[in-house]
A and B are shown apart, each in its own frame.
Chain A
C-alpha cells in the first residue's frame, strides 16, 4: 500500500486549524527560523481517514482475531474501561495543575483514582505501598532495582554488587539490573523448568543485592520452593523482586507479598486489561513492603485527614523522579475501571479461567507435540516444535500457517532454553469453541506438515505481504521515506 507521503499532492487542503488571525505580531529574525517547511503530507481529511482505516485492516488484533501470544496476556480490553478513561474531565487535565492551587485541589478526581488504584493493587499483591509512575513493565523493573540499590546504600551495604536472575527470565530483567548499575549472575533452570535450587544456593552470597524471579516463570511453571528461596535471600539481607508479568495466573489466589517478595511490578497492559496499543503505551506499577516505602519515587499521593488527596514531594530517601509526573494516567484509569469491574470475586475467577483455558489447550495439543504429561501449567505453556523437523517444517512455518487460518501465532522461539519454542497463552477471554477451533487448526497444520510441507513454507499467502526479507531490511537500512 502507498505511504501517506506518496498520496500527497501540493495544495490539497488538510484540516483547517484556526480562522482567528491576530495581526499584532512581529517577525522573528530568520536565524531562529527554519529555512524550509517540514515536508508533511498534503492530503484531504477523507483520504487520511481512508489511509489509516486501510492500514488498521492489515493488522491482526484481539478485537478481530484469536491472539494467544504467550507471555503477553492478550486478553479482551473492555470497551467500558476505554469509555471511562476517555471522559474529558480526566483526559483534559494538565499535569501541573496540582501546583496551581495548594494541595492538588484542582485535580481531586484524578488524585482519587491514583490513590484508590494504589490501594487496590496493594491488596491484590499483599504489598504495603505502590507507585504508579513506571510507564511500562521494563520501567517498573528498573524502578524496582533502583529502590533495591537505594535500600542497600541506606543500610550501609554498598558492597552489594550483583543480582541473581534465572536463565528463563525475560530479557528485560538482566537489562534493567545493568541499567541500574548491578552485575548480573545467571542461574540455569533444572529439569522441571524452574531455577536450579542447589546451583542458586551456591551462587547466593553476602554480595547478592537481590533476586529477580517470575513465578509462574516464562515456561508457565510455578516455583514450589519460593518460600525457601525468599528466606535464604533475606538471610543475607538481599531483596526478592517479583516480576509480575505473569500475574494473570495467580490473581486473587496467591500474593507476591505473602510468598515473601519485597518488590513487585505489575503490567497493567497484561493482567489488568489495558490495551497493548500495537506496542505501548504500557504501565508498570511497583509495589514494595513497608521497609522500602521511603525509597519510592516522588511524588506520592496521600489522603489527608479531611479526606482530600494531596501530593507529597518531601521524601528525602526517595530514589527521585522516574517519570515527569504520576505515570501513564490514561492507562491507570483504565486498569482502575477494570479492577472495580472484577472485584475480589472477579480477580480469582479471572485467574482460574485463564489457567483452565491454558491447561485445556496444553492437554488437547499434547498428542500433536508428542510430549509426556509434565504436570499442570499455569496461564501459559511451552511446547517444542522439534517434532516437526522430520518433515522439514519449523516452528516459524507453523506460525505462518496459523496466520493464513486467521489466528495470530503464539510467541515463538521464546523462551530461549526450549528448542523451536511455541508459547501459548489463551487467556480467560476465550470460550471453548475458540479453543477447540485452535486445536482443529493445529491438527490440520500438523497434517499439512506431513503431506504438503511446502504449503507451510510458502505461508502466509492471505496477508498483504508474504514473508519479509529481514536481512535486507537490516542491510539496506531504509528507515524513513525519502
Chain B
C-alpha cells in the first residue's frame, strides 16, 4: 500500500479500527452519502517526496529577482529582522497552537499578546489596543466602521494622502453598505487640506481618515484639524507607520480617536504581500466598540496573575449577525514577531532605527534634488520616505534601473493622475551610504540617457 504523507496510522492500525467499526474499507465510512455525489479521481499529479517538493519550490523561487537594492516602500518596508525574531517565532509551541480558548494551556500566547497590546499603546500614545487584525488595510476599514457605529453616522471623509492601496480597499468594502464615502484631495503642500475637509464637516460625518506620515512620506501635525473634526462630534481615524512612531508625534497626542496601521516593519518579512500585521488602538471609552480579539489581565483562585481573551460579547461567535465585525481571528504569530522585535531592539534601539532611517532619507534627498531636472514633489518635512518629480516618466526610469540591480522606488502615477513623473523613495537602516551614492549616480545617468 502506498504511503500517505503526514498520516499517522499504519495499515495494521486501520484494520483494528475497521474491525471496531464493523466495516471493511474506507468507502464504508461514507455509505450514507449518495453515490452520485462521488467525484472522479482528481486530475493532479501524485504526491512528491519531501526532497522533490523542495527541489521544485527552490526552482520556482530562483525565478524571482532577488538581491535588488530596494528603495521601494510605499507602506511596506525592507527593515532588518534580527535573527532571534525568527528563532523564537519558529518555536512550534507558538506557531502550532491555536486561539487561546483554554487560557490555562495558552498563557504563552496570551501573555505575549498582552505585551504586544501594551507596546502598541506606547507606540501610538493610545490607551487600549486589540490583539491585531489581518493587515493595515483591513484594520483601517474596521477602524472606520467602528467610528460609524459609535457616532451612528454614515459619512466618511478620506484624505487622499492616505495610501491609495488602502483607499481602493475602502471603496471595495463600503460598496454594499450605506456609507457615504468621499475622498478629499491633498493641499498643494502635500498634506491634508484643512479648508477642504472643514468645508465638508457636518453632522452626517462619522469618521475622517488621515495618515501621518502620509503616502508621500510628508509629515504633519494634525492637532488643529482633529480639533475641527471633534467640533462636529466626528471621530478622527489615523493610519500610522510604526517605525516612524519612534520619532514622530503620536496620533494619541494629536487627539486621534482610532489609530490603525501596518505592523509589517516590526520584524515581518515583506513576503510578497503577506501575512502582515494590522494593528488598532483607541481610547478606553471606545473599547467596547473595537473589533478583534482583546487580551486582559486577571487572576486565578490563588491570586496568581494570568491572561484571558476578554470582552468577547462583541465578537461574532457570540453575537453572530450582530457582531462588531465578521473577523474572528487575529494574526497572533505576526503580533508575536512584533513584540519580540520591539523587545530585542528595545527603547534605545527603536530610537536608533528611526534615526537611521531619517538620516539616510535626508542624505539622499539632498543628493537627489541636486540632480538637474529633479525636484521635490512636495516641499515638506519627511520621515524616511519622500517623492521627487523627474523630467521623464518614472515607470520607465525605474524599469531601466532594475537591470542594474536597483529597485529605485515606486512610481506613483498608477495611483495619482498627473503624477506619472513622480517617484517615491523609501530608506531603511539596511541601505548604506554607498548604495545611496550609487543610486544617485545611476538615476542621474538614466535621466541623461
Contact = CB atoms under 8 A, between A and B. Distances in A.
Contacts, number: 688
A297 B284 CA distance: 36
Contacts of A96: 72, 74, 76, 410
A328 B134 CA distance: 9
Nearest to B115: A4
B296 A25 contact: no
Interface stretch (A200-208, A349-357, A383-391, A447-455): A349-357
Given A91-B269, A93-B270, A320 B64 contact: no
The interface centre, meaning the residue of B39, B135, B345 with most chain A CB atoms within 10 A of its CB, is B39
Interface residues of B, number: 201
Given A59-B106, A107-B65, A353 B4 contact: yes
The interface centre, meaning the residue of A96, A273, A349, A376 with most chain B CB atoms within 10 A of its CB, is A96
B248 A34 contact: yes
A305 interface: no
B111 A1 contact: yes
B53 interface: yes
B448 interface: no
A341 B172 contact: no
A40 B122 contact: yes
Interface string A1-12: 101110010001
A109 B82 CA distance: 26
Contacts of A146: 172, 175-176
Interface stretch (B55-63, B180-188, B195-203, B371-379): B55-63
B352 A25 contact: no
B274 interface: yes
Interface in B392-449: 395, 398-399, 402, 407, 410-411, 414, 429, 432-433
A298 B64 CA distance: 22
B272 A400 contact: no
B331 A280 contact: yes
Interface residues of A, number: 202
Nearest to B427: A22
Contacts of B307: 468
Contact of B39 (A108, A137, A255): A255
Contacts of B381: 28-29, 32
A424 interface: no
B356 to A, nearest CB: 5
A360 interface: yes
Interface in A56-111: 56-65, 67, 69, 72, 74-78, 80, 82-84, 87-97, 99-102, 105-110
Contacts of A350: 4, 6-7
A258 interface: yes
Contact of B6 (A25, A282, A428): A428
Nearest to B57: A84
Interface in A91-139: 91-97, 99-102, 105-110, 112-113, 120, 123-124, 126, 135-139
A392 B412 CA distance: 66
B64 A110 contact: yes
A300 to B, nearest CB: 14
Contact of A41 (B8, B132, B346): B346
Given A24-B363, A345-B46, A93 B248 contact: no
Interface stretch (A222-230, A234-242, A286-294): A222-230
Nearest to A249: B30
B270 A91 contact: yes
Contact of B93 (A32, A64, A100): A64
B246 interface: yes
A16 B41 CA distance: 56
Interface in B102-157: 102-109, 111-112, 114-115, 117-119, 121-123, 125, 127-129, 131-132, 134-138
B33 A222 contact: yes
Given A38-B246, A138-B327, A278 B298 contact: no
A88 B81 CA distance: 12
A235 to B, nearest CB: 19
A445 to B, nearest CB: 15
Given A61-B96, A341-B47, A468-B104, A282 B343 contact: no
A431 B13 contact: yes
A75 B56 contact: no
Given A24-B363, A61-B96, A276-B97, A38 B122 contact: yes
Given A26-B362, A181-B176, A254-B39, A344 B44 contact: yes
A49 B118 contact: no
Interface string A174-188: 111111110010000
Interface string B161-191: 0000110110111011100000000000000
A94 B5 contact: no
B46 A277 contact: no
A444 interface: no
Given A63-B92, A277-B332, A468-B308, A80 B50 contact: yes
B227 interface: no
Contacts of B333: 275, 277-278, 280-281
Given A48-B343, A473-B296, A226 B37 contact: yes
A107 B109 contact: no
Contacts of B253: 34-35
30 contacts: A1-B111, A13-B346, A17-B349, A17-B352, A25-B359, A31-B221, A34-B250, A34-B253, A41-B347, A54-B108, A56-B91, A56-B93, A59-B109, A64-B92, A78-B5, A90-B271, A94-B72, A99-B395, A107-B65, A110-B64, A175-B320, A276-B98, A280-B329, A321-B169, A324-B136, A342-B5, A343-B45, A350-B7, A408-B105, A479-B294
